[in-house]
Amino acid sequence: MIYNLTLVHLLLALGASGCVYFALREIRRRYVSIWRLFVPATLATFVAIGMFLLQVIAHRPPWVFEAAVLAGLAIGMLRGFTTVLHVDLYMSMLQERSAAKRALLWVPIILAVAVATEIVAAIFTPALENLQLGAALIATCCAGMLVGRALVLSVRLAASLMKPAPSSRKRSTARQAPSEQT
């Protein structure tokens, strides 16, 4: 233990940096697969669980984390419902404006800032204990946002892939029918 830092803090930093990296990869790609939606969400969930456990050890009330998770899930699900989704024969495509893509990147960045705050507050433990709680709550809310968005988009993707698209043969015969009548 160096300056009240443990291996958990190293794992939190690695998880947050991985979350930022995979979110950056997601916004650079045009096509997205279902499993890629869950990579940043899974890493953010592990980070949030680690920060939650650090706060439970410090005898913080767990109900505030439940509220943060629910708020994050609601925001993430709303974001998933409002995302425009197009499915072609190759893969699914998320069409978002550049501002919406940057908003996706801000959530993991805020998560990384919360982890950095936790690490700095762990060094100066007695003075910044409330800051650690705030950082853990923000990380939990960010994880809820990413999980909620991934869940809704994966359900929408699966539903759109199962729904059969109209075949080109039916469309061509429907277009020829009025011309044959004249």
Query: Residue 93 pLDDT > 70, yes or no?
Result: no
Higher pLDDT, 113 or 181: 113
Q: Which three-class secondary structure state does DSSP give residue 115? A: helix
What does the alpha-carbon distance between residue 122 and residue 182 come to, in Å, rounded to a whole number? Answer: 82
- Give the angle 115-48-18 at the CA atoms, nearest 5°: 65
pLDDT, tens digit, 9 for 90 and up, residues 97-125: 666 677 788 999 999 999 999 988 888 87
**Among candidate residues 134, 122, 151, the one with its CA nearest the CA of residue 68:** 134
Domain boundaries, the chain: 7-181
Confidence of residue 164 (pLDDT cuts 50, 70, 90): low
Average pLDDT of the residues of the chain: 82
Let me know if 153 is exposed, middle or buried by CB neighbors in 10 A (0-12, 13-18, 19+).
buried
Confidence of residue 95 (pLDDT cuts 50, 70, 90): low
pLDDT of res. 128: 81
Q: Contact, 72 vs 140, CB < 8 A? A: yes
pTM: 0.81
